[in-house]
Amino acid sequence: MPTEKEIKQVVDWCEARKKERKLVSMVERNELREKIPWTYRFPLIEIDRPTEAASKTSLVYDSTTKALYQYYMDEWRKIEPEFDIKIK
């Protein structure tokens, strides 16, 4: 499960790519595969591509909601950070 910090790293990377390339939507090779373990299964990161057009094996970033999505069990689901439950 991804942590909030790891999700923020991926979102920041996507935002930087978007500013650098100045394109409406793009498909980028996942350079974070070695740094962030849970992203290893996504060969590509698709930035601002509609989920209808995106590959089911890609990680999709939506800049309007600043959220990451993955295809899981026949639907696109938002990637949420893990949380800890501590019982005292």
Segments making up each domain of the chain, as ranges: 4-78
Select from 30, 46, 36 the least CA-distant residue to 7.
Answer: 36
What is the C-alpha separation between 82 and 69, in angstroms, rounded?
15
Chain-centroid distance, C-alpha 32:
10
Q: Which amino acid is at 61?
A: Y
Q: Is the pLDDT of residue 84 over 90?
A: no
Select from 71, 59, 81, 72 the least CA-distant residue to 13.
Answer: 59
Average pLDDT over residues 28-37: 94
Q: Is the pLDDT of residue 85 over 90?
A: no
- Residue listed under structure tokens 């992203």: 39
Could you tell me the pTM of the whole model?
0.88
